[in-house]
Amino acid sequence: MDKDGLTLRWSLGRVPVGLLYILPSLLFVLIFFLIPLAMVVWMSLHDWPLLGQPAFSGLDNYASLLGDSTFWNSLWFTTKYTILVTPAIFICAFVLAHLINSKLRWVALFRTIYFLPVVIGIGTSSLLWVWLFNDQVGFFNFILAHLGVIKAPVLTTPSTSLAGVIVMVVWKTVGFTMVLLLVGMQAIPTELYEAAKIDGATWWSTQFFITVPLLRRTIALALIISVVGSFLAFDQFFIMTGGGPNNSTITVVYWIYRASFTYFKLGYGSALSLLLMLILTAISVLQLLVLREPEKY
């Protein structure tokens, strides 16, 4: 047998061994993603009550979705929430990452303090801020009312309730984004900043032409995590506002929850879930295309 034939047999013999290595990951993806996804697609094609026999309905759930004003309102609210909360997280995280990256005293203590809210569950954080915004005993509600910033409890009006949730989410998640940006900053060679300083570059110039371009991959990762997490927001609105006041803070996931487990339309909820998955996939792909590294020739 020639040399090429021996090489082919040797390569084919290694295939089963390679499959064994990736088998746990394949099983995980199959059991926890592909099979549930297939079930959701199947359910979306049925009138699937919580109790009773499902009935095939074809694309009726998707047709109903197009005329569902509550869904489109919730999608717009979720988009607005994402547009507001994502820059707030990034600006705070960027400032904190710079402070932590500097040679200040007690920097390790500050890094721990800033990151501490990340390890607290979102449910616990929401309950904590419900108490802080309480009109009877809440510290922040008392301060804001005393300063004349608010005339009613924070979580009882549409505008202030959204602002209250955003403040909680920024407090809860900014530490995670800070750590991502900090790791990226520490990977940038200090020689670049020293050379820029010798050339007379200002601090803003070094950030715009050195830090931000070299953090492109880190920013892309953090941005995708933040945007996807914001579009999947549920717990904070469920606990802090209950979708109110007057259904003004219903997110897409909140409406999927209501359609599925309040109105017992599991098939319709599955159709909503699939549409949300497609929207998130499109947004993530768009972000990767915009923030990808420029081609080098």
Q: What pLDDT digit, counting tens, does each position of 13-33 carry?
A: 555 666 777 888 889 989 988
Q: Give the separation between CA 157 and CA 280, rounded to whole angstroms.
A: 29
Q: What pLDDT digit, counting tens, does each position of 282-295 carry?
A: 988 888 787 776 65
Mean pLDDT of the chain: 86
Cis amide leading into 87 (omega within 30): no
The pLDDT > 90 percentage for the chain reads 44
Predicted confidence at residue 2, as pLDDT, reads 47
Q: What pLDDT digit, counting tens, does each position of 70-79 carry?
A: 999 999 999 9
The pLDDT > 70 percentage for the chain reads 92
Q: Per the structure block, which two tokens stand in for 20? A: 């064994």
Q: Give the separation between CA 130 and CA 155, rounded to whole angstroms.
A: 8
What is the Rg, in whole angstroms, of the alpha carbon atoms belonging to the chain? 25
Contact between 252 and 271 under an 8 Å Cβ cutoff? The reply is no
| Mean pLDDT of the 42-70 span | 89
How confident is residue 42, by pLDDT bands cut at 50, 70 and 90? very high
- What is the CATH architecture assignment of 70-291? Orthogonal Bundle (1.10)
Q: What is the DSSP track for 193-249?
A: HHHHHHTT--HHHHIIIIIHHHTHHHHHHHHHHHHHHHHT--HHHHHHTTT-STTTT
Q: What is the pTM of this model?
A: 0.86
The lowest-confidence range among 107-116, 178-187, 206-215, 239-248 is 107-116
Contact between 186 and 101 under an 8 Å Cβ cutoff? The reply is yes
Is residue 244 pLDDT above 90, yes or no?
no
Mode of pairing for the β-strands spanning 46-47 and 55-56: antiparallel
Which residue is associated with the tokens 């295309």? 289
Is residue 105 pLDDT above 80, yes or no?
no
Predicted confidence at residue 1, as pLDDT, reads 47
More confident residue, 291 or 246: 246
Predicted confidence at residue 112, as pLDDT, reads 83
| Mean pLDDT of the 67-90 span | 94
Give 55's strand partners: 47
Which residue is associated with the tokens 């790791």? 183
Pick from 265, 246, 282, 244: nearest CA to 68: 265
How confident is residue 200, by pLDDT bands cut at 50, 70 and 90? confident
**Which residues, at least 6 apart from 48, have a Cβ–Cβ distance to it below 8 Å?**
54, 265, 266, 267, 270
Q: Per the structure block, which two tokens stand in for 197? A: 């300083």
Domain ranges of the chain: 3-44, 70-291
- With 0-12 / 13-18 / 19 or more C-beta atoms within 10 angstroms meaning exposed / middle / buried, residue 169 is buried
Predicted confidence at residue 207, as pLDDT, reads 87
